[in-house]
């Protein structure tokens, strides 16, 4: 195995130090919570587009997506088709309502329709989901660091040290710079990890006899370039139906009901810019996934279908074994860039939700009170401790980490999206109905996901669990949304009908 040279270390330290310094510099002059959390709605649409892409990419894309193509084919793209469909729906159904008023969190929209308790319930649900999911994402960055350090440091020390380094650098610029720092460092980080991906693509082609022509010829002959799977088997995650329908619902939840993405869109100057950012990000993500899937089929040819202990080790192994000094540092920096962009966004969105959905109503302060700004920064620090601590819990995970992270979101995404659907599509529903629906939806999906895990761990239980143990993860959000909506609808039939508040208010921001 190759070594991590002094030049690689210089590249890596320069990148992380430069990113942190940029974030701190961008945070100068901030005085209010609105500045800190939505950058006073002054971010250009193209920067938000890249920020959305960087945020949802994380280190998982770098590490796991090439492994999917190495072991399989391009059928994962069917889920990405659904991501585009979901964003278009959110852009025309939910985004206009987010831009009616001066909202900072997605869940203020639920308060407008149902009441404060619904807002708090949804916000806490988001916090739990984000904390668990992003703990997995932080842990994922320990994989390339462990391969770099190799046997020189015991494994039990490699993981916590790498997580602490990542967390410390990211915390500094997020704490100081707020949303403005998050977005602009995301733009920088997008460039870094795309450069790393294209560098890998070049080296793979250079290392295979016949180059990319030979790689693609072999991939085509072995069916690794297949995209469409028309199977109706709900246990298969990468089919056209699971991708377009299930992926569409997943994207509606992640980009329409998750504060992490919605907060970036709220930093846009107007609805038109937010819409351009959101829809454009879907097509950008499609291109990005294509890049990393091509890396996977390239590695399949480069290693001649060699067997690896874990699929998440395939690309990091190539980075350390093959890449020349300096370029190894660049690609490892790219992996850390992807991770840092997600973690920084999570810290800021978690702090925003805690500040505006929990602290502000309880304190009775106004949003422009300097104490609210200070509280937001303290909540950023607190959530950093939680994410770093949670990352240490994911040792010895054999399942690709991208699947783990997406499955965690599936516990709660259906409940969140279902609450928005209930507010928009069932006028009879009130606050009790919304909370009941979310609770039942989340509990039901917890059972479904655990049934899936049990079936995988204990094959003898698979038959007794029936179809519950076989449902593929792209369907989870659709199922959870349906359960939430139907439960809320049925609950509403137990009380007299009343005229509900609307999710819409007179527009105060330009279209």
pLDDT tens, 449-463? 877 777 766 676 666
- Report d(CA 108, CA 116) in Å as an integer: 8
CA 122 to chain centre: 18
pLDDT of residue 251: 96
Distance CA(256)–CA(262), nearest Å, equals 6
Domains, in order of start, for the chain: 6-394 (1.20.1730.10)
- Residues with Cβ within 8 Å of 276's Cβ and at least 6 positions away in sequence, in order, are 45, 49
Instruction: With beta carbons less than 8 A apart as the criterion, state whether 107 and 266 touch.
Output: no
> What is the model's pTM?
0.88
What 3-state DSSP class applies to 496? coil
Tens digit of pLDDT for each residue in 417-442? Answer: 999 999 999 999 999 999 999 999 99
What pLDDT, on a 0 to 100 scale, did the predictor assign at position 15? Answer: 85
pLDDT (mean) for 273-278: 97
pLDDT band at 400 (very low <50, low <70, confident <90, very high): low
* DSSP one-letter string for 105-123: STTHHHHHHT-HHHHHHHH
Q: Given this model, what pLDDT does residue 141 score?
A: 66
- Bigger pLDDT: 159 or 37? 37
- The secondary structure of residue 500, as a DSSP letter, is P
Residue with tokens 């939910």: 94
Tens digits of residue pLDDT in 232-258:
998 898 999 999 999 999 999 999 999
Interatomic CA distance for residues 279 and 266, integer angstroms: 15
User: In this predicted structure, what is the pLDDT of residue 464?
Assistant: 67
| Among the ranges given (86-100, 199-213, 313-327), the one the predictor scored with the smallest mean pLDDT | 313-327
pLDDT band at 267 (very low <50, low <70, confident <90, very high): very high
Average pLDDT over the chain, rounded to an integer = 86
Give 183's pLDDT tier (boundaries 50, 70, 90): very high
User: pLDDT value at position 163?
Assistant: 80
Q: Report the share of the chain in percent with pLDDT over 70.
A: 88
Q: Is the pLDDT of residue 29 over 70?
A: yes
List, for residues 15-26, the tens digit of each pLDDT value: 888 888 988 898
Which range, 12-21, 203-212, 368-377, 454-463, is most confident?
203-212
Least Cα distance to 182 among 42, 11, 346 occurs for 346
Considering only the C-alpha atoms of the chain, give the largest distance between any 2 of them, rounded to a whole number of Å. 74
Torsion sign across C-alpha atoms 183, 185, 191, 195: negative
87 pLDDT above the threshold of 70: yes
pLDDT mean over 397-418:
70
Mean local confidence (pLDDT), 280-305 = 95
CA distances from 192 to 13, 57, 195, 351 (A): 14, 13, 5, 27
Percent helix, strand and coil across the chain, each to the nearest 5: 75, 0, 25
């Amino acid at each position: 195995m190759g070594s991590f040279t002094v030049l690689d270390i210089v590249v890596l330290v320069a990148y992380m130090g430069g990113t942190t310094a940029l974030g701190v510099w961008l945070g100068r002059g901030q005085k209010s919570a609105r500045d800190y959390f939505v950058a006073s709605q002054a971010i250009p649409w193209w920067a938000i587009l890249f920020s959305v892409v960087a945020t949802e990419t994380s280190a998982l894309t770098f590490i796991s997506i090439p492994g999917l193509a190495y072991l399989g084919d391009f059928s994962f793209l069917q889920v990405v088709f659904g991501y585009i469909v979901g964003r278009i729906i959110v852009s025309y159904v939910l985004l206009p309502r987010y831009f009616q008023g001066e909202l900072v969190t997605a869940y203020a929209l639920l308060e407008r329709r149902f009441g404060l308790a619904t807002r708090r319930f949804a916000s806490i649900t988001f916090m739990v989901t984000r904390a668990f999911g992003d703990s997995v994402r932080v842990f994922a960055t320990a994989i390339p660091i462990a391969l770099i350090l190799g046997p020189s440091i015991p494994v039990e020390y490699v993981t916590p040290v790498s997580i602490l380094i990542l967390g410390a650098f990211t915390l500094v610029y997020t704490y100081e710079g707020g949303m403005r720092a998050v977005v602009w460092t995301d733009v920088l980080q997008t460039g870094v990890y795309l450069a790393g991906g294209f560098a890998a693509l070049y080296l793979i082609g250079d290392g295979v006899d016949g180059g990319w022509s030979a790689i693609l010829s072999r991939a085509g002959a072995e069916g690794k370039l297949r995209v469409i799977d028309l199977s109706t088997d709900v246990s298969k995650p990468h089919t056209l139906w699971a991708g377009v329908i299930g992926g569409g619902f997943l994207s509606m939840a992640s980009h329409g009901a998750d504060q992490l993405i919605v907060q970036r869109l709220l930093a846009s100057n107007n609805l038109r810019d937010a819409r351009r950012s959101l829809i454009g990000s879907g097509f950008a993500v499609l291109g990005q996934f294509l890049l990393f899937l091509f890396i996977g089929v390239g590695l399949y040819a480069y290693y001649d279908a060699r067997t690896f202990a874990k699929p998440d080790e395939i690309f990091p192994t190539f980075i350390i074994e093959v890449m020349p000094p300096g370029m190894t540092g660049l690609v490892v920096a790219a992996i850390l860039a992807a991770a840092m962009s997600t973690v920084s966004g999570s810290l800021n969105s978690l702090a925003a939700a805690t500040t505006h959905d929990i602290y502000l109503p309880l304190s009775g302060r106004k949003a422009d009170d300097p104490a609210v700004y200070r509280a937001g920064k303290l909540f950023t620090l607190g959530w950093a401790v939680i994410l770093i601590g949670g990352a240490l819990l994911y040792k010895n995970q054999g399942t690709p980490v991208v699947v783990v992270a997406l499955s965690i979101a599936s516990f709660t995404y259906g409940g969140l999206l279902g609450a928005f659907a209930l507010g928009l599509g069932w006028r009879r529903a009130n606050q009790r109905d919304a909370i009941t629906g979310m609770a039942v939806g989340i509990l039901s999906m917890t059972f479904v996901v655990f049934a899936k895990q049990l079936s995988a761990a204990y094959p003898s239980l698979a038959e007794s669990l029936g179809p519950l143990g076989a449902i593929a993860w792209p369907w989870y959000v659709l199922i959870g949304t349906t359960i939430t909506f139907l439960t809320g609808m049925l609950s509403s039939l137990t009380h007299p009908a009343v005229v509900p508040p609307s999710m819409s208010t007179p527009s105060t921001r330009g279209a």
